[in-house]
Structure 1
């Protein structure tokens, strides 16, 4: 499997885009502003979209994507998420007020998109590729994702704060190669991180102390104006563990 980072920032500006990862050519993990990095043809080839949660920075390109490619496809795009997240999308986005309901366009029998609810830990198998949701602790219902090629795995934490349940899952993954975990705020903003259910470097250090496996660790969702500071603080808190900043257009093969 090949995962390409389309966006991984906690904000926008210049070449910064919010969270979206392209797997092979047909799967998206989240649909932040990074989707705009794709050509129209590339967008039309996406068959499956897995959403971590309903916050705007993770779903803002989803309505525009459906509108852009709907007439180019012969089958619906499947949007996977927890039931609570799908209900938020239906209630607040695809509601005929903010945006048309593309699960009914052009008609209910042949829609542009369809919803598929996922239970926590449920495995979706797509041509031998396995994607399952893992626990996240955030301000709204949220999950991360475990992506398994069979040969190796990648785990994306999604937006999360302190989360013992995540590590109980991650520590059981024998073929884990990559771990992408968020750290949105600097240590000076720890109170805000806790309030908004994100991590800061000191909290990240506490979380990674629960990790008993081995993996290359990459940091996502850094606030744009504090990215360098956050990474310096992570290096100090982790004692030079080798955690690296995730960047746009980075690719992982596993």
Structure 2
């Protein structure tokens, strides 16, 4: 299977900076940040499932517009998966008729453009040959990461998270792990801010990766635009043995 990175930046401001979203094959999205806006209408209409890690704007910004754009081009609802806490935040604060129409009732409650589907950490959802499972994350709002398994290989995306001892036992049980996409939002000079906002900086990430017991490719995501070179330089110093890759828009990861 192929995971195409539509966006992986911790912000905007440059020609190629898009916020978090990953397109798996052609019909599954992991998060719906600003990178989704680069897809054509035909590509948007082919997406059947969106799995959300959490509800911060950089991870959901394109979702309301996407549904509005292609809802009437589809013959079935777009399924939005998330924990019950995540879905409740969407209902209360986004699809609430004040910020955006409630597309779970449009055009009718019986045949809506959008359907919310709750999931639990550890629950496995089978979509053809792809299995998706939520994994633990630790952030300032309810959050998860995702384990994507094709059978032949696995990709794990941490989502936004900080130090999290619940995460690593799950990852270490994945025998076919190929890719680990892990966040590092801040440089070491911003460690205090990283801890307050429940993100990572290089020194924190180095300590976390000592808990990894699997060989896999490490991909760094969610870098803040103004600190990319500084943060990647610090990562080269403290986790260079892991040969980390800076994730970039339009990279395709096979698993």
Distance 2:171 2:103 in 1: 35
Distance 1:240 1:206 in 2: 13
* Superposed CA RMSD: 0.6
Partner of 1:122 in structure 2? 123
- 2:234 equivalent to 1:249: no
Deviation of 1:239 (Å): 3.6
Partner of 1:157 in structure 2? 158
The 3-state SS of whatever aligns with 2:155 is strand
Distance 2:170 2:102 in 1: 35
Unpaired runs of 5+ residues, structure 2, are: none
The 3-state SS of whatever aligns with 2:166 is helix
Partner of 2:34 in structure 1? 33
Deviation of 1:15 (Å): 1.4
Which shifted more, 27-36 or 230-239? 230-239
- 2:84 equivalent to 1:83: yes
Deviation of 1:64 (Å): 0.2
Distance 2:153 2:229 in 1: 30
Normalised by the size of structure 1, how large is the TM-score?
0.99
Partner of 2:208 in structure 1? 207
Distance 2:198 2:49 in 1: 27
Equivalences, count: 254
Normalised by the size of structure 2, how large is the TM-score?
0.99
Partner of 2:9 in structure 1? 9
Give CA deviations for 1:214-251 in whole Å, capped at 9, x if unaligned: 10000000000101110100111114420110000000
Distance 1:5 1:36 in 2: 13
Deviation of 1:128 (Å): 2.0
The 3-state SS of whatever aligns with 1:231 is helix
Unpaired runs of 5+ residues, structure 1, are: none
Deviation of 1:253 (Å): 1.3
